């Protein structure tokens, strides 16, 4: 498959992740009477990955996340020459997905993008008021385990055909843990999309949601191959 087609698949997949996941938070989480709440938003993020893994996994591998691409690169599951194209496509998809969401959300009277627009943050911008250290730790650890599940579920020795389910459920689980802390990112592109439109504090705090997930993913890329090695 050409890099152009694979990058395009990553664009659409990341668009879907941001539009579906952040859209559930912005449009449906607190809708009067039938709001889906934290559980619903967590499930929505998991479903975006699960559905896209079945749709484009055979085309691009369905990374949808620069940290995932880096983790797979470190784990020797992905080629470094393809990394720039994947990251650009993922970021572009995230920004476009958030842009379409903004058009829809702004169609309701009283919409205020300054309220957060599902952006990730720490300190006073953490949903639960968690500190910088707590947020950095959460993003690093949760991304590490996300990549461990991805690497394990896609191992040639793992049961065939179930990887999208395991990965989607893992993303749901880590959102259940992390939404109160940072609004949960574990994905630099997902953080970038809303931050572009919110600006101000969301852009200023964006560095954490690039550095911490990439560190966590890279650690998994080192540890999983060692753990799964059949060498004594």
Q: Which pLDDT belongs to residue 232?
A: 65
pLDDT per residue rounded down to tens, the chain (232 residues): 899 999 999 999 999 999 999 999 999 887 887 889 999 999 999 999 999 999 999 999 999 999 999 999 999 999 999 999 999 999 999 999 999 999 999 998 888 898 889 999 999 999 999 999 999 999 999 999 999 999 999 998 988 889 999 999 999 999 999 999 999 999 999 999 999 999 999 999 999 999 999 999 999 999 999 999 877 6
pTM of the full predicted structure? 0.95
Q: What is the DSSP string of the chain?
A: --HHHHHHHHHHHHHHHHHHHHHIIIIITT-TTT--HHHHHHHHHHHHHHHHHHHHHHHH----SHHHHHHHHHTTSS-GGGHHHHHHHHHHHHHHHHHHHHHHHTTSTT--GGG-TT----GGGSTT---HHHHHHHHHHHHHHHHHHHHHHTSTTSPTT-HHHHHHHHHHHHHHHHHHHHS--S-HHHHHHHHHHH-HHHHHTTTHHHHHHHHHHHHHHHHHHHHH----
Crossing angle of helices 208-228 and 66-74, rounded to 10°? 30
Quote the CA–CA distance of 194 and 183 in Å, as a whole number: 12
Q: Which pLDDT belongs to residue 1?
A: 84
Q: What domains are defined for the chain? A: 3-228 (1.20.1080.10)
Name, in order, each residue with C-beta under 8 angstroms of 166's C-beta and a sequence gap of 6 or more.
149, 152, 153
Q: Which pLDDT belongs to residue 165?
A: 96
């Amino acid at each position: 498959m050409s890099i152009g087609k694979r990058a395009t698949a990553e664009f659409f997949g990341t668009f879907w992740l941001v539009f579906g996941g952040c859209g559930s938070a912005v449009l449906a989480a607190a809708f009067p009477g039938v709001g889906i709440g934290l559980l619903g938003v967590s499930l929505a993020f998991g479903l975006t990955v699960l559905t896209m893994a079945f749709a484009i996994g055979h085309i691009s591998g369905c990374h949808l996340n620069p940290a995932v691409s880096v983790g797979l690169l470190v784990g020797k599951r992905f080629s470094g020459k393809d990394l720039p194209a994947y990251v650009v496509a993922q970021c572009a998809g995230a920004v476009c997905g958030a842009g379409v969401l903004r058009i829809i959300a702004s169609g309701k009277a009283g919409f205020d993008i300054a309220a957060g627009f599902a952006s990730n943050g720490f300190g006073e911008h953490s949903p639960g008021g968690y500190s910088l250290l707590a947020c950095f730790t959460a993003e690093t650890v949760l991304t590490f385990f996300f990549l461990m599940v991805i690497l394990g579920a896609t191992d040639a020795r793992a049961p065939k055909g179930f990887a999208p389910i395991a990965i989607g459920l893992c993303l749901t689980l880590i959102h259940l843990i992390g939404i109160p802390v940072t609004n949960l990112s574990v994905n630099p592109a997902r953080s970038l999309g809303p931050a572009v439109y919110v600006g101000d504090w969301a852009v200023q705090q964006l560095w954490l949601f690039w550095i911490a997930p990439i560190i966590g993913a890279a650690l998994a890329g080192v540890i999983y191959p060692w753990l799964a090695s059949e060498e004594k």
